Amino acid sequence: MAKYEDTVTFYRSKSPASHRAIVFIHGGAWIDPSNTPHDFDKLAQLLITTSSHSQPAYSIYGIEYRLSPEVKHPTHLLDVIQNLAQLVQEEQIDELNLWGHSVGATLIWQLLTFKSSFHSSLNLIRSKMNRCYLADGIFSLSDLLQEYPTYDYFVSQAYDKIDDYEDPTDSTLYIPVSTQIHIIHSYSDELLSLRQSNYLCQVLQDRQQRFSTYWDDLGKHNDVFEHAKVAEYIIYTMMY
């Protein structure tokens, strides 16, 4: 049901050291079937070909989740949790690095801040998590709808009410302290202004949470997950 069978393995590390992995989570406003793990075919190839080593010292995967309106929140998030936990177990991943675009970034943020600490799969994921890359994401539904009222056409399909989306000012209390957060945004994004990413930056600053930002011209919204500069940024930050 959670679509684990649609997980894509872009590259499996041959390193004899601990198993490090990058896992991509796609966007698509919770509703668009044209967005899949294969959104990252080009970025995965860039990570492989531009690595400073002849063979990357990390595996690269992409996971899937069910879409609205067939399902509603929190099903998307629960699918991500289930599929990540199964991937970690089956591939024996020691270090987990997540890269999410648009709603994929939203799902990572929700995973970081989800209150259900009793959830064994969530605990497993958090115990392996190292870096999280949040690219051109949505971090406040109420703020999003103030800026873009027409976006209610997809928000209303994914959420019964926007109050179901946890307030980031409270949810930051649940972020694992060891997690490195990277907020990425393209100046040329035509679907999301910098307002969402700046909103999250302010929340993290208020909580004195460590994070990094990468603002650049990375093309339009759906260019970001194919951009060579993004691959370079991931490779550079994975070294430290």
The residues annotated as belonging to the active site are 102, 189, 221
d(CA 181, CA 17): 24
Question: How many CB atoms are located within 10 Å of the residue 51 CB?
Answer: 17
Element holding 214 (H helix, E strand)? strand 211-216
Question: How many CB atoms are located within 10 Å of the residue 49 CB?
Answer: 10
φ, ψ dihedrals at 38, nearest 5°? -75, -5
d(CA 188, CA 20): 32
What is the 8-class DSSP label of residue 183? E
Of 218, 180, 181, 179, which Cα lies nearest the Cα of 200? Answer: 181
Across 7-77, where does the E strand assignment appear?
8-11, 20-25, 59-63
What is the 8-class DSSP label of residue 72? -
Residue 156 neighbours by CB under 8 Å, 6+ apart: none
8: three-class secondary structure by DSSP: strand
Of 85, 62, 66, 86, which Cα lies nearest the Cα of 76? Answer: 66
Are residues 20 and 11 in contact, defined by beta-carbon separation less than 8 angstroms? no
